[in-house]
Amino acid sequence: MVLTQSEILMLYVIFTGLMGLAILIYVILDGYDLGVGMLMMEADDQEKDRMIASIGPFWDANETWLVLGVGILLVAFPKAHGIILTALYIPVAVMLGGLILRGVAFDFRAKARDAHKARWDKAFMVGSTLATFAQGYMLAQYVMGLENTRAVCLCDVLAGVSLMSAYRLVGAAWLIMKTEGELQKKSIRWARRALWGTVVGIVVVSILTPWMSPRIFNKWFSFPMFYYLATIPLLTGALILMLEIVLRRLPYPNDRYCWLPFAGTVSVFILGFAGLAYSFYPYIIPNQMTIWEGGTAPTSLAIILIGALIVLPFIMGYTLFSYRVFWGKVRDLRYD
């Protein structure tokens, strides 16, 4: 198979886009159920059952997108995969430990005796917290170029805490959309608190990213691109203001607009991801390795792309189908 130079470059861009899409979908979908897991710390026993029921049909499939994203990194960018996972070995192990603990607790709590159920609830909450913190830590490590200085580690910890707020926000927004009554009112309060923790995280990442890299600073603050890129922070600020206003007024009569917090939070996530993607392109490892340098052989990528284009529609199809089947308020769900 003979590929032109433009076709080779396009292959690398396509796989970068597919990997980014998988990670973004994972952050949104698994983000809300990790957030629900952390919010269970502030709920009573009956509310915990309803919270679990709200994510029951979806949470396991949501993690498929993480597997897909890491799988694309492995097969399409093996050099970068080795460097990134070696540098992030400990937080990756913590994340996987949290996800395993969470998965075991989810299934065991449904079969446990009443005396043991609280223990599995705690395990589910701890697993959700560990996985979320580790993901935030890894994000900051990646943004900082996989460095391990004391200042960078402090930023990593701050990012881990900030991502916990972001996942709590999207988790609370999910519960606002899926529940009613007192639990919905609690979720509104949780969302308002988590919103401003998320704002702090966005501001910190927005400052640190150009500060750590003159290249990224020039990409954002050179003219005329500055005027076009200004729409990202402006739209993000407008969405955050909208979320605050909506959360103050919820719940509306007949539960109207209960979907707005979730839609607004997802939009903030998408804008943040778009900003990071623009900042780092064409690097797969910030300031160290481009997607062309870290990619596998072009002929191999062309063959892998055929498989990816077959598998991806199936993953998206069953994801959409499951959400369609189990859509509605939590009272309409049945969790066995």
Tell me what the mean pLDDT of segment 293-299 comes to. 87
Q: In sequence order, which residues have a C-beta less than 8 Å from that of residue 179 and are 6 or more positions away?
A: 50, 51, 54, 187, 329, 330
Q: Is the pLDDT of residue 205 over 90?
A: no
Give the pTM. Answer: 0.92
Asked, for residue 114, whether it belongs to a domain, the answer is yes
Look up residue 106 and give its two tokens: 């989810």
Q: Is the pLDDT of residue 293 over 60?
A: yes
What does the DSSP 8-state code read for residue 250?
P
Q: Report H helices in the chain.
A: 5-39, 45-55, 59-62, 64-76, 78-87, 89-111, 114-143, 150-178, 181-212, 214-221, 225-229, 231-249, 260-280, 291-294, 298-325
Candidate ranges 44-53, 123-132, 319-328; pick with highest mean pLDDT: 123-132
Are 22 and 65 spatial neighbours (Cβ–Cβ below 8 Å)?
yes
Quote the CA–CA distance of 269 and 256 in Å, as a whole number: 23
Asked, for residue 116, whether it belongs to a domain, the answer is yes
Name the band, by pLDDT with cuts 50, 70 and 90, for residue 332.
very low
- Tokens 């989810």 belong to 106
What does pLDDT average to over the chain?
89
Asked, for residue 276, whether it belongs to a domain, the answer is yes
Q: Give the closest residue to 127 by CA, choosing from 40, 29, 188.
A: 40
pLDDT of residue 299: 87
Look up residue 52 and give its two tokens: 């679990």
Tell me what the mean pLDDT of segment 85-110 comes to. 91
Long-range interactions of 241-246: CB distance < 8 A, separation 24+: 243/191, 243/195, 243/268, 244/192, 244/195
Q: Is 284 helix (H, G, I), strand (E, B) or coil?
A: strand
Asked, for residue 8, whether it belongs to a domain, the answer is no
Strand partners, 289: 285
Q: Is the pLDDT of residue 118 over 90?
A: no
- Tokens 């390795």 belong to 289
Q: Is the pLDDT of residue 321 over 80?
A: yes
Tally of CA atoms within 13 A in the half-sphere of 80 that contains its CB: 27
Element (H, E) at 285: strand 283-285
pLDDT in tens, 250-281: 998 888 899 999 999 999 999 999 999 998 88
Asked, for residue 323, whether it belongs to a domain, the answer is yes
Q: Is the pLDDT of residue 99 over 70?
A: yes
Say how many domains are in the chain.
Answer: 1
Name the band, by pLDDT with cuts 50, 70 and 90, for residue 1.
low
Q: In sequence order, which residues have a C-beta less than 8 Å from that of residue 330 and are 6 or more positions away?
A: 50, 53, 54, 178, 179, 180
pLDDT in tens, 52-65: 999 988 888 888 89
- Residue range of the domain that includes 125: 15-328
pLDDT in tens, 125-158: 999 999 999 999 999 888 888 888 887 888 889 8
Name the band, by pLDDT with cuts 50, 70 and 90, for residue 296.
confident
pLDDT of residue 131: 96
Quote the CA–CA distance of 108 and 124 in Å, as a whole number: 10
Asked, for residue 27, whether it belongs to a domain, the answer is yes
Quote the CA–CA distance of 265 and 163 in Å, as a whole number: 13
Tell me what the mean pLDDT of segment 97-102 comes to. 94
Asked, for residue 334, whether it belongs to a domain, the answer is no
Asked, for residue 295, whether it belongs to a domain, the answer is yes
pLDDT in tens, 208-239: 778 877 888 888 888 888 888 999 999 999 99
